[in-house]
Amino acid sequence: NMMVVYQHLGADTDLLETYRVAQQFSPQNLDYYRIRLIAARRERDAQEMIRIAERLKELAPHYTDEMDVIIDLTRKGAWEILDGL
């Protein structure tokens, strides 16, 4: 369980709460991926951000343009811009 790992590593309380909420959703639920995307952004985990954005494109093609922007900004390391989205 990733939450146990994060707790052990001393992750901040807000991040742990984000993962708790995400676990309530089915992996096919778009909200699950949106919450995971927020958590990955907060952790500055570029690989996870890109993986989740690609998955959202598969599940919800109408988000393709937005996810392409997120992927591009993530690859450029534009975290301050991503924080404002």
Q: Give me the pLDDT at residue 5, please.
A: 46
Grade residue 76 by pLDDT with cuts at 50, 70 and 90.
Answer: very high
Token representation of residue 31: 């909200």
User: What is the reported pLDDT for 39?
Assistant: 86
Tell me which amino acid residue 36 is.
Answer: R
What pLDDT does 64 receive?
94
Whole-model pTM: value is 0.68
Residues 14-65 have pLDDT tens digits of 665 666 665 565 556 777 788 888 889 988 999 999 999 999 999 889 999 9
How buried is residue 48: exposed, middle or buried, by Cβ count under 10 Å (0-12/13-18/19+)?
A: middle
